[in-house]
Each structure stands twice: as C-alpha cells, then as structure tokens.
C-alpha cells in the first residue's frame, strides 16, 4: 500500500474524484472531532487489485485490457459496489467510487462496506461475444476476492444484467454450484430482484420529490433538466414526469434538447429506442452544445451521467437552485463551494442515488434465502429506507448547521468509524 495516501494527480481544471472524496472525508473527520489516524484508515482502501485481461478479438488478434477492483472498507460486512466498463476508468476513479459506496451503504444502513470495479475499455466498440469473454476472464481473475460473503459486484456505467449473468455463471461454474448471491442486478430468472432494474432512478425521483417539498416547490410548477438519459437519468426523468414535474431539458452523449412546455418522457423513451439518441425528438429544440443543459434556466438540475461534470470552471453558470445528484460524484469540491455561496441546495449522490444499492441488498437477501418478495414489497421497503435516510440527513444538517453533503458524509463516516472502533485494530 506504499504511497496510497500520496496526493492524487489532477488540478482544479482536471478534476480528480479521489481528491474530492478525500476532501469530503477530511471535512467529516474534522466535524466529528476524529483523529488523523482514523482519516488515514478511512482514506485508504483495504484491498485493491489490478488485473490484466487478455482478450481474443473476433478477428483473432489479441488485446490486453486493464481491470481493477477496489474494496474500500470491511468494518460493517462484505464489500459491495458496481463494475464499470468505460474508456475513462482508472485506479484513482475506482478508489473514489469505492469510498463513496462505503458512505452510501452506511448512510442507508445496509450491512456492507464499499467496493468498485472497472475495466478500461469502451464496450460500444466490442461485440457481445467479446464483452462476454472480457467479463468471464475478469471474473475468474477475481475469484479469490469476490463472493456473497466477501465482495458482491453489481451493474454500473457500461454494464448491465447480462454482464451480471455472465459473472454469476463464471463464479458458479468455478465454485461447483450455483451462487446467486455473488452479484446483484442479475436477470430475475436467475435470482435477480423485482424492482432492481429501475431502483436507482426510482430512488432519485423519490428523493427529488422530497427535496421539492423541503424547498416549498410544487411539482406541477417545477422545471427540471436531466443530464444523461441512460439507466439512471431516463428512469428519473420518467418518474418525475409521471409525478407531474415539468422536465424541460434532457441531454445524452450526442446532444441536448429542450421544450419550455415540458417533454413527454414516455414518448421520448420510444424515440431513443428507435434512434439511439434524444436528439431530433419532435416538438423540442436542440441546444447548441450538449453541456448547455447544465446551464438551463430550470428549478432543478439532475446530473445523471458521470463524475466531475460540475466543476470550478462552470459552477457559477448553473441557474438551478436545487441539484439532485443521480450520478456518483458529479460535483467537485471547488464547485460545491461556489454553489453553496450562491445558495444552491445540493442533495448528495450517497443519498439521492442510493436506491440501486438498497435494492441490490434486497436482492442479495432474497437470493441467499431463496425466498422472493413481490415488487410492491421491494418498492415499499425501498422508499421506507430512503425516507428514513432523508430525515436523518435533514435533521443532522439542521442540528449542526451543515449542508446536506456534509450531513450525509458525517452520518456515514460516524457509522463506519464507530464500527471500526468497536471491532478494534488487529493485531
């Protein structure tokens, strides 16, 4: 672990999520009055693995990809977190995402520490057969350090139910029996949970509606811009539109569209299914640049794409008064300061997008017990847990004069630090 705490690369103009994650942790440690030793324990992942993944391409050539798995903290149970396929994946990013998973699981009181995995490649440039080979080889390289009581992967950017099915199959074949609890976000017919597929987006919209009420905004008179129309953004936009909120701007990787009267999100989903993009949807205007979406004149902004999109260089251009973070780490520490000074209210990722890992936990409980819940039970238990976390954050923020990110991080760090202290340091 030599050098694990050295300053991560990156400057304010080139955001580094690990630097932001550690800055948030340092602030929480200071607010809680914990010592520097506890900061070092929690700033450093307990285990990190880098693997090379030799891939036979369909044309017979060989390519070697790099894969990572970082297990940040194990004080409260096995580690848990997604697996990301993206050309931007690097070890510092995976370390940051793993740390955020620890706080997310602690905040919503599910018995896991955080983990994250990633493979640096763009799955859009590979065939399904190639993606299957990459997934199976990565899984077999990780065999000794994953498992239902060790570390439980799930989908993230660039991965889906099918990738989880291949992981579960590879792990099970090598173990000698079927182990449905080794991953979550699997298809329902092999032990996935009803309600998992849209759990993150359902949670984002649920928390967004709670935040509207908290700010005295009425859904029907509220405008929202959603950045990203993938698994999280498309579902969040749809649920908010169904709740009567006016979704006036949406973007994806190809462009951004807007309509002052509100976008019919159900019809837009059909358009995206047939064309592959939100661009060109009837009745909407294109924005000059995809990133103009961030500066839309709306009440609420939901960044639901990737980390670091709101940074020191653009935070002052944001017009929304409420930001609900669908993505992990979309706002840098410098942007946080600019937005706080401007009176923008931010609902942090570890609260807003925790619906995915909450239902992952339900899936793991069901799979381990081979006893299945109805979709209504899943949804009720999801919203109960999110409401509980929401009220804890609201109360902690009010009691200690903190913003919501500070309050959520402080509650989570306090939970993990107290578990660490109760267990003691071995040897």
Closest CB 123 distance from ligand GLU, rounded Å: 15
We find the least distance from the C-beta atom of residue 257 to ligand GLU, in angstroms, to be 26
Are 391 and 401 a contacting pair, CB within 8 Å? no
Per-residue burial over 109-127, b = 16 or more CB atoms within 10 Å of its CB, e = otherwise = bbebbbbbbbbbbebeebe
If the CB atoms of residues 251 and 328 are measured against ligand GLU, the closer one turns out to be 328
Binding segment for ligand GLU among 31-39, 75-83, 129-137, 259-267 (CB under 6 A)? 75-83
Give the active site residue among 104, 116, 231, 246: 116
Q: For the CB of residue 98, give the shortest distance to ligand GLU in the complex, in Å.
A: 10
The CA radius of gyration of the chain, in Å to the nearest whole number, is: 21
HEC profile for 221-245? HCEEEEECCCHHHHHHHHHHHHCCC
Task: Beginning with the edge strand found earlier in the chain, give each strand of the sheet holding 47-56 in spatial order.
Answer: 47-56, 62-71, 113-120, 79-86, 151-155
Task: Give the tokens for residue 117.
Answer: 């995995």
Query: What is the C-alpha separation between 28 and 410, in angstroms, rounded?
Result: 5
Q: Is 93 in the site for ligand GLU (CB under 6 A)?
A: no
- Residue with Cβ nearer ligand GLU (348 or 356): 356
Which residue of 248, 328, 332, 383 would you call a contact of ligand GLU, by CB under 6 A? 328
Would strands 246-252 and 151-155 be described as parallel, antiparallel, or unpaired? unpaired
- Annotate each residue in 166-205 with x if it binds ligand GLU (CB under 6 A) or - if it does not, as one string: ------------------x---------------------
Q: Which is nearer to ligand GLU, 72 or 80 (CB)?
A: 80
Window 339-378: contact mask with ligand GLU (x via CB under 6 A)? --------------x--xx--x------------------
Name which position in 156, 169, 252, 336 contacts ligand GLU (CB under 6 A).
156
Nearest residue to the partner ligand GLU, using Cβ? 82
Cβ proximity to ligand GLU, 217 vs 359, nearer residue: 359
The answer to whether residue 154 forms part of the interface with ligand GLU (CB under 6 A) is: yes
CB atoms closer than 10 angstroms to residue 80: 27
C-alpha distances in Å from residue 367, one per residue of 12, 97, 147, 195, 385: 44, 25, 13, 14, 20
Structure tokens at 4: 């694990």
Span from 74-82, 212-220, 301-309, 390-398 in contact with ligand GLU (CB under 6 A): 74-82
- Does position 81 interact with ligand GLU (CB under 6 A)? The reply is yes
Q: How far is the CB of 100 from ligand GLU (least distance, A)?
A: 8
d(CA 155, CA 231): 10
Are 42 and 5 spatial neighbours (Cβ–Cβ below 8 Å)? no
Which candidate, 128, 103, 172, places its Cα nearest to that of 328?
103
Position 309 contacts ligand GLU (CB under 6 A): no
415 φ, ψ to 5°? -65, -45
Q: Binding ligand GLU by CB under 6 A: which of 80, 271, 385, 405?
A: 80
Is 246 among the residues known to form the active site?
no
Residues that bind ligand GLU (CB under 6 A): 80-82, 154, 156, 184, 328, 353, 356-357, 360
- Catalytic site positions: 116
């Amino acid at each position: 672990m030599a050098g694990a705490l050295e300053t991560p690369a990156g400057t304010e103009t080139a955001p580094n999520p690990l630097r932001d994650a550690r800055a948030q942790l340092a602030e929480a440690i200071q607010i809680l009055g914990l010592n520097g030793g506890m900061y070092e324990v929690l700033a450093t992942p307990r285990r990190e693995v880098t693997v090379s993944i030799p891939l036979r391409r369909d044309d017979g050539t060989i390519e070697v990809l790099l894969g990572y798995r970082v297990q940040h903290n194990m004080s409260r149970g096995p580690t848990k977190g997604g697996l990301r396929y993206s050309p931007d994946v690097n070890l510092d990013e995976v370390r940051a995402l793993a740390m955020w998973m620890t706080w997310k699981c602690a905040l919503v009181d599910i018995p896991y520490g955080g983990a994250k995995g990633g493979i640096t490649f763009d799955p859009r440039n590979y065939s399904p057969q190639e993606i299957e080979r990459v997934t199976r080889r990565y899984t077999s390289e990780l065999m000794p350090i994953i498992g239902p009581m060790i570390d439980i992967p799930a989908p993230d950017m660039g991965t889906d139910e099918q990738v989880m099915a291949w992981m579960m199959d590879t792990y099970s074949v090598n173990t000698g029996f079927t182990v449905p609890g080794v991953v979550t976000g699997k298809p329902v017919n092999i032990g996935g949970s009803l309600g998992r597929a849209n759990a993150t987006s359902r949670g984002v919209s649920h928390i967004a509606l709670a935040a509207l009420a908290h700010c005295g905004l009425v859904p029907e008179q509220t405008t929202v811009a959603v950045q990203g129309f993938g698994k999280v953004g498309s579902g969040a936009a749809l649920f908010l539109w169904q709740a009567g909120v006016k979704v006036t701007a949406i973007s994806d990787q190809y462009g951004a569209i807007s309509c002052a009267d509100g976008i019919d999100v159900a019809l837009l989903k059909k358009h995206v299914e047939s064309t592959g993009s939100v661009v060109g949807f009837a009745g909407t205007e294109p924005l000059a640049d995809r990133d103009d979406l961030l500066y839309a004149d709306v009440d609420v902004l939901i960044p639901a794409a990737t980390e670091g999109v709101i940074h020191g260089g653009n935070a002052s251009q944001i017009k929304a008064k409420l930001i609900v973070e669908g993505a992990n780490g979309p706002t840098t520490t410098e942007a946080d300061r600019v937005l706080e000074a401007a009176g923008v209210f931010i609902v942090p990722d570890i609260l807003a997008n925790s619906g995915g890992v909450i239902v992952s936990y339900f899936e793991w409980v069901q799979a381990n017990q081979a006893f299945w819940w109805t979709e209504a039970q899943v949804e009720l238990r999801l919203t109960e847990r999110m409401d509980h976390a929401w009220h804890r954050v609201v109360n902690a923020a009010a009691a200690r004069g903190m913003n919501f990110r500070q309050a959520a991080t402080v509650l989570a760090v306090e939970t993990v630090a107290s578990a660490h202290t109760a267990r003691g340091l071995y040897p």
